[in-house]
Structure 1
Amino acid sequence: MMKNDGEVVRFDNVGLRYGTETEVLSDIDFTLFAGRFYFLTGASGAGKTSLLKLLYLSQRPSRGAIRMFGNDVITLKRDRLPAYRRRLGVVFQDFRLIGHLSAFDNVALPLRLAGLREADLRQPVADMLDWVGLGNRSDARPATLSGGEQQRVAIARAVIARPELLVADEPTGNVDPEMALRLLRLFEALNRLGTTVVVATHDLHLLRRVPDSLIMRLDRGRLADPTGALRYPPRGPIGKPQP
């Protein structure tokens, strides 16, 4: 599929600190383009989750500029943020499912917020739950689901509305290898429909599963190679991303 070269996100000299602590992200510069698939890698504590928080607009940077969908989101008025967030799909590491809602209702939530009629959303939600292997658990509440099942519900909720940008924090960390591959294929299918995908992972074996993906590697809060930070997955044995 031909990729759209339009910018979706641009970071310019972005830094992030919490309170008066040392910066957890420093001098971050990159551009994400429409319809591309990106992996974000780095050791534990490198800053991956902090960078994702900036991407899904739950955190403002301490310095620098961030543009999303063509607009400066740092100076964006707070009452306009919900409209931007509806264009995003997010898979949180801690799932963030709504406890009193069933798996079906958790997945249906983005469609309901978008104003889709109940009659029009039932089949897509059912199909999505089938895809992630939870068609028989649609009435279950999160507390009765295993960690892996909760992860799959969270992923189904993130992708059901076909967001323009999908951000996923360790989305395969609680599932077996077979399901991890199946979920990755779901992200690929969404990507082929035009969604820009960013997957943060420490599992380097995933990198070769998406041949046209690009790799961003964080090292102690900085992009490891700012002038060539976006790399294709290695073709040889799995190891550190190669130039």
Structure 2
Amino acid sequence: MSAGEGSIVQFDNVGLRYGTEREVLSDIAFTLYPGSFYFLTGASGAGKTSLLKLLYLAQRPSRGVIRMFGTDVITVPRNRLPEFRRRIGVVFQDFRLVPDLSAFDNVALPLRVSGVPENEIRKPVADMLQWVGLEQRADARPASLSGGEQQRVAIARAVIARPEILVADEPTGNVDPEMAVKLLRLFEALNRLGTTVVVATHDVHLLKKVPDSLIMRLDRGRLSDPTGALRYPPRRETVGQ
């Protein structure tokens, strides 16, 4: 398979600057393939969060080309971007839970936005809250939850609709090591169903927890490719199985 063929995301010569400042990302080029699991690493300030913003379409680049789902998303009219964003699950570093909604209703939000009937929502949401250990906190609002509990609600919300791409910014930063591994297993399970997963982390110990994962490393706004996977698909028989 040639570079880019069969990809779900492709960045070519992408640069990003805020205002008149120097570029925070320079000459970013990589390809993500369906059903693969990627870790994005790098020191604080390397540009990980900025790269993730480009991935979940919260930011447009200053230059370069970004193709997602076979479409050049830079030239897509802004009123079409929501249809692309609905195919992407995001775990934000600052959680971004809706303060007036319970944990249950925060997790249910993507399903309701997608028009899933109410009688088909309760069981999957309850199951997801049980998976992340919050079945007893379903009625709690974010302000009454600890940082780690809010993180788990945010993760449950991001994966409940089985997105085609999951983007997670330091998803294990506010949980204990045991829960961190459990959450990674949740991401792996979603990955086996075909979701492309990108997890940004500074925790090098996590990189060994997912055997088939691929590593993308940022250093001062530039991307290196220690696993040789940014241009070509993983060398395994069937991706995502």
What is the TM-score when the length of structure 2 is the normalising length?
0.92
How far, CA to CA, are the matches of 1:111 and 1:119 in structure 2? 11
The corresponding residue for 1:178 is 178
How far, CA to CA, are the matches of 1:209 and 1:117 in structure 2? 37
The corresponding residue for 1:80 is 80
Where in structure 1 do 4 or more consecutive aligned residues deviate above 6 Å?
none
Q: Aligned Cα RMSD in Å? A: 1.5
The corresponding residue for 2:204 is 204
Deviation at 1:230, TM superposition (A): 4.4
The corresponding residue for 1:239 is none
2:4 maps to 1:13: no
How far, CA to CA, are the matches of 1:154 and 1:20 in structure 2? 33
Residues 107-186 of structure 1 mapped to structure 2, 5 A cutoff = 107-186=107-186
The corresponding residue for 1:240 is none
2:28 maps to 1:39: no
How far, CA to CA, are the matches of 1:56 and 1:199 in structure 2? 13
Deviation at 1:208, TM superposition (A): 0.7
Deviation at 1:227, TM superposition (A): 10
Preserved CA contact (<8 Å) 2:215 2:225: no
Q: Residues 104 and 225 from structure 1, CA distance in 2 versus in 1: closer, same or farther, beyond 3 angstroms?
A: closer
Deviation at 1:228, TM superposition (A): 3.9
Map Cα deviations across residues 121-176 of structure 1 (whole Å, 9 max, x no partner). Answer: 10000000000000000000000000000000000000000000000000000000
Greater length-normalized contact order (CA 8 Å, ≥ 6 residues apart): 2
Deviation at 1:67, TM superposition (A): 0.1
Q: Residues 189 and 161 from structure 1, CA distance in 2 versus in 1: closer, same or farther, beyond 3 angstroms?
A: same
Task: Give unpaired runs (5+ residues) of structure 1.
Answer: 232-243
What is the TM-score when the length of structure 1 is the normalising length?
0.91
Deviation at 1:226, TM superposition (A): 9.0
Sequence identity (%): 82
How far, CA to CA, are the matches of 1:191 and 1:225 in structure 2? 21
The corresponding residue for 1:102 is 102
Preserved CA contact (<8 Å) 1:217 1:229: no
2:58 maps to 1:51: no
- The count of aligned residue pairs is 227
Map Cα deviations across residues 164-223 of structure 1 (whole Å, 9 max, x no partner). Answer: 000000000000000000000000000000000000000010111111110000000001
Matched letter for residue 115 of structure 2: G
Task: Give unpaired runs (5+ residues) of structure 2.
Answer: 232-241
Deviation at 1:6, TM superposition (A): 2.3
Preserved CA contact (<8 Å) 2:217 2:226: no
How far, CA to CA, are the matches of 1:28 and 1:154 in structure 2? 28
